[in-house]
Structure 1
Amino acid sequence: MEHITLLIGIVIVTALVFDFTNGFHDTANAMATTISTGALTPKVAVGMSAALNLVGAFLSIEVAKTISSGIIDEGSGIRPEVIFAGLVGAIIWNLLTWLAGLPSSSSHALMGGLIGATVASVGMGAVNGDVVVMKVLIPALAAPLVAGLASLFATRLTYRVARKADEERTAKGYRTGQITSAALVSLAHGTNDAQKTMGVITLALVTGGALAPGSDPPVWVIGSAGLAIALGTYLGGWRIIRTMGKGITDIQPPQGFAAQTSAAATILASSHIGFSLSTTHVCSGAVMGSGVGRKGGVVRWGTAGRMVVGWALTLPAAGLVAACSALLAQQGDWGVAAVAILTVAICGAIWLRSRREPVDHTNVNDVEPAGAVPSGSTAPEPGPEPAGVVTTAMQAVAPPPAPSGAALGASSDDSSSNQDSHAANRPASATSIS
C-alpha cells in the first residue's frame, strides 16, 4: 500500500463518508419506482441495489479518471486539505437535501465542492473549465431531457403494445420487468457514482505524493469505494425514495419499467464515454417523462420545480461551503481540526432534526394522493382519474359549453321555485306595503 500521511488518511475517510451519503442519497434513483409500485418490498429492493452497486464499482474507471485528472489541474499546487474541504461541502449539501427529501445530484455536489475549494485556495486557473463544461454542465442539461424523452416514448409504446391485454396479467409482467430494469440501474449507478469517490481518493493520493500523476485508482481504492456506496444504499434514503416514487407522479408498473429502462440506458452510455453524469437528473427526468407519457397521468410540477431549483443551487451552494472550509483548513492543523469538528456538529444537527419526522421502510409509501382531502373534512365523491397536464391546461382556457334547452328549462323552473320561496318567506310588513 502507498505511503499515506495522517492528512491524506483524513481525506480518504471523508471521501468514504461522502460515498456513504451518496449511496443513501441516490438509492431512490434505482428503487423508488420499484418500491412505489410494489414490485419489490422496500428492504429487498435496497438490498439488491446495494449488491449491484458494489459489482458495478469494478466494471469501469473512466469516470474516476475524469475526476482525478480532468476537472482539477493536479500540478497547480492543490493540497490534500483542499480536497478535504471540497468533500465537506458535498457532504453537508447531500445531508441538507436529504433532510428536505429533495432528489439533488451528489455528483454535482462533489464537483461544486472541489471547484469551490480549489478556487478559494489556488484560483480559477487550477480548474479546467473546458472539461467542466463538456463533461459536467452539458450532460447536466442534456441528461434529464434525453432520459425524459426516451421514457415518454417508451411509456406510450408500452401502453400501446399492451392496450388489448389483460390489465392484471400485464401489471404482473411489468413488475417483473421492473425488477430487471431496477437491477440494471443499480449496476449503472455503481459504474458511475462509485467511481467519483475513487477519483477523489486517487486525486488525494496524487496531491500527497503517494501516487504518480495520471495513475489509475488502486484496487483497494476501488473496493473501499464500492463497499461504502453499497452500505449507504442498503440503509436507504427513504425520504428521497418517497419523493421520487410518490411525489412526482403516480407511477403504474408499465411506467416504472419504461422509466427505469430509459434511465439505465442513458447512464450506461454516459459511463462508457466518461461523462460524470448525475444519475439523479437522469432518473428524475425519466420519471417525469413517464408521467407525461401515460394518458391521464399527472405530473406534480410544483415538486418538479423544487427539484430543478435544487439542481441549480447544488454547484454554487456546495462550492460556497467548500470555499469557506478551504480558507479555514489552510490555517494549519488547527484549521483542519476546526473544519472536521464543525462538519460533525452540522451533520449531527441535521440527523437530530430528521428524527422529528422519521421516514423509513415502514412508511415510505404513505403519501396522500393528489387531490386528497385533509382529515376532518368531507371526502368528495370518487371520480375518474385526473386528466393529464396538457388536458387540464386546455380545459382551463376553453369556454364552457352552452346549456341545452332542457337545462335552460330546468334553470327557469328552479328560478321560479326560488322566487316563490322568497315570496313565502317575506315579512308581512313587506307584503302590506305592496
Structure 2
Amino acid sequence: MEHLTLLIGVVIVTALVFDFTNGFHDTANAMATTISTGALKPKTAVAMSAVLNLVGAFLSVEVAKTISGGIIDEGSGIKPEVIFAGLVGAIVWNLLTWLAGLPSSSSHALFGGLIGATLVSVGWSGIHADAIVMKVLIPAIAAPLVAGIAAAAATRLTYRLGKNRRSEDTAKGYRAGQIASGALVSLAHGTNDAQKTMGVITLALITGGVVAPNSDPPMWVIVSAAVAIALGTYLGGWRIIRTMGKGLTDIKPPQGFAAQTSSATVILASSHLGFALSTTQVCSGSIMGAGVGKKGGVVHWSTASRMVAAWGLTLPAAGLVAGAAAFLAGQGDWGVVVVAVLGIAACAAIWAASRRNAVDHTNVNEVEGDADAAVDPVTIPAPAAAPSGTSATSRATA
C-alpha cells in the first residue's frame, strides 16, 4: 500500500468540507418542526441534533459501502482528482440551494458530482448504472411518497386519539414526543448521511492505493466524518430550517410529532438496507403529508413546487459543475489548483451574498415577504352575524 499523497490529502479535506456543509444544510430535517412549534429553543435543538448526528455516524457502514463500491466502479481507472472534482460540484450546489433556502438533497448533490466527474474522465464504464437506479433513483421517488403517506395517516390518527383530552396535557405530551422523534431523526441522519462522506474518503483511499478494494472505512475516517457533520449541524442552517418549519405548512405539535416519527422510520429502514436516500426529501415529504393529514390544513404548494424543482435539478446541476471541474483537474496539477481556487471563490461569493439578508436563531421563525401569501389559500373566519337592525354601512365601518 502507498502512503497518503498531497492530492489524496486535499480530497479528504474537501470531503470533510462537504460533510460540514451537509450538516448545516440538513439540520432542518431533524429540527425544523421542533423549532417552529416551540418545542425546543433553536440553539438547544441544533446542539442536541449535532450530538446525535455524531453518535449515529458510528451505528452502520452499509451506506458507505454503497458509495465506495456500489455507484462508482473502483477499478475503472478513476483518480483522486476525479473525486475532488465531484466534491467541488456537490459543495457549490449545496451552498447555492442553502442561499436560496431550498431544502434540496445533499446526497443527490454528492451523487451528481461523482457521476458527472466520472463520466467526463473515464466515461460510462466508471458508473454502475443498475446501482444508481436501484439504490438512488428509485428511493428518491419512493421514499418521500412513503414518508408523506405515513405522516398523513399518523397525523389523522394523532388528532383522532387526542380530541377528547385536555389541551394542556396533549401539549406537554406532543412537546415531549417532538423532542424524542426529533432526536431519532438526528440519529438516523447521522447514520445515513455521515456515511456518504465516509464512502467518498474510502473511495479516494482505494483509488490512491492506500487501502485495498472493497475495504470498510477505517476508524479514523468514521471519526472524522462524524465530527465534521456534527459541527456543521451545530452551525444551524437557519435558512432551510425557516423554509421547512414555516414555508411548507403552518405545522402544529401533533403534526410535527407525526412527521418526525415517519421520517425517522423511513431513514433508519433505508440505512439498514444500504439505500443512500435523501433525508431532505424524506423529511420534506413527511411535513407535506402532515399538512395534508390535518383537517383544514394548508400546504403552500408554490414553495413545495420550487423545492421539488430543486430536487430534479440537483443531480444534473452538480454533475455539470463537477464535470467541468474534472475536465480542468485532468489537465494536471495546475488544473487541480485552478479548480480549488474557483471553488473557494464561489463559496466565498455565496457566503458574502448570504450576509445581505442574514437568517439566524433569532429570526428563524419569522416569515417575511413570502410570495406564497399571494397564491396559497388562506382561511379567513366568517364574520359574525350582525345584530338585528344594524345597517350594512355600520357593519362595514366596524
TM-score range, shorter chain: over 0.9
1:168, CA displacement in angstroms? 2.8
2:234 — aligned with what? Answer: 234
- Give runs of aligned pairs for residues 160-309 of structure 1, distance below 5 A: 160-309=160-309
Aligned pair in 2 of structure 1 residues 61, 143: CA closer, same or farther (>3 Å)?
same
1:2, CA displacement in angstroms? 7.1
- Give runs of aligned pairs for residues 31-430 of structure 1, distance below 5 A: 31-367=31-367, 383-384=380-381
Taking the aligned partners of 2:370 and 2:315, their CA distance within structure 1 comes to 32
Taking the aligned partners of 1:274 and 1:259, their CA distance within structure 2 comes to 23
Q: String of CA shifts for 1:283-327, please: whole Å, max 9, x gaps.
A: 000000000000111000000000000000000000000000000
1:383, CA displacement in angstroms? 4.1
Indicate if the aligned counterparts of 2:2 and 2:208 stay in contact, CA closer than 8 A: no
1:4 — aligned with what? Answer: 4
Larger radius of gyration: 1
Aligned pair in 2 of structure 1 residues 312, 372: CA closer, same or farther (>3 Å)?
closer
Aligned pair in 2 of structure 1 residues 177, 77: CA closer, same or farther (>3 Å)?
same
Q: String of CA shifts for 1:131-167, please: whole Å, max 9, x gaps.
A: 0000000000001000000000000000000011112
SS at the partner of 1:355? helix
Aligned pair in 2 of structure 1 residues 342, 371: CA closer, same or farther (>3 Å)?
closer
2:22 — aligned with what? Answer: 22
Taking the aligned partners of 1:76 and 1:84, their CA distance within structure 2 comes to 16
Matched to 1:347, the amino acid is C
Taking the aligned partners of 2:149 and 2:175, their CA distance within structure 1 comes to 22
Matched to 1:118, the amino acid is T
Taking the aligned partners of 2:372 and 2:130, their CA distance within structure 1 comes to 48
Aligned pair in 2 of structure 1 residues 372, 341: CA closer, same or farther (>3 Å)?
closer
Q: String of CA shifts for 1:35-80, please: whole Å, max 9, x gaps.
A: 0000000000000000000000000000000000000100000000
Q: Identical aligned pairs, as a percentage?
A: 76
Taking the aligned partners of 2:343 and 2:247, their CA distance within structure 1 comes to 30
1:367, CA displacement in angstroms? 1.2
SS at the partner of 1:152? helix
SS at the partner of 2:362? coil
Taking the aligned partners of 2:5 and 2:52, their CA distance within structure 1 comes to 32
Matched to 2:100, the amino acid is A
Indicate if the aligned counterparts of 2:94 and 2:106 stay in contact, CA closer than 8 A: yes
Q: How many residues align?
A: 381
1:384, CA displacement in angstroms? 3.0
Aligned pair in 2 of structure 1 residues 72, 371: CA closer, same or farther (>3 Å)?
closer
Taking the aligned partners of 1:91 and 1:365, their CA distance within structure 2 comes to 26
1:368, CA displacement in angstroms? 5.0
Taking the aligned partners of 1:14 and 1:2, their CA distance within structure 2 comes to 20
Relative to the length of structure 1, the TM-score reads 0.85
Taking the aligned partners of 1:368 and 1:306, their CA distance within structure 2 comes to 17
Matched to 1:304, the amino acid is A
Taking the aligned partners of 1:213 and 1:326, their CA distance within structure 2 comes to 23
Matched to 2:168, the amino acid is E
1:94, CA displacement in angstroms? 0.1
Taking the aligned partners of 2:301 and 2:380, their CA distance within structure 1 comes to 22
Aligned pair in 2 of structure 1 residues 147, 333: CA closer, same or farther (>3 Å)?
same
Aligned pair in 2 of structure 1 residues 101, 156: CA closer, same or farther (>3 Å)?
same
1:171, CA displacement in angstroms? 1.6
SS at the partner of 2:212? coil
Q: String of CA shifts for 1:152-194, please: whole Å, max 9, x gaps.
A: 0000000000011112321221011000000000000000000
SS at the partner of 1:349? helix
Q: String of CA shifts for 1:340-399, please: whole Å, max 9, x gaps.
A: 00000000000000000000000000115989999xxxxxxx9439xxxxxxxxxxxxxx
SS at the partner of 1:214? coil
Taking the aligned partners of 1:125 and 1:210, their CA distance within structure 2 comes to 23
Matched to 1:135, the amino acid is K
Taking the aligned partners of 2:85 and 2:69, their CA distance within structure 1 comes to 18
Per mean C-alpha deviation after superposition, the further-off stretch among 218-227 and 361-370 is 361-370
Matched to 2:15, the amino acid is A
RMSD: 1.9
Indicate if the aligned counterparts of 2:259 and 2:283 stay in contact, CA closer than 8 A: yes
Taking the aligned partners of 1:384 and 1:311, their CA distance within structure 2 comes to 36
Q: Is there any run of 5+ residues in structure 2 with no aligned partner, and where?
A: 383-388, 393-398
Aligned pair in 2 of structure 1 residues 295, 327: CA closer, same or farther (>3 Å)?
same
Relative to the length of structure 2, the TM-score reads 0.93
Taking the aligned partners of 2:167 and 2:149, their CA distance within structure 1 comes to 25
Taking the aligned partners of 1:231 and 1:22, their CA distance within structure 2 comes to 10
Matched to 1:259, the amino acid is A
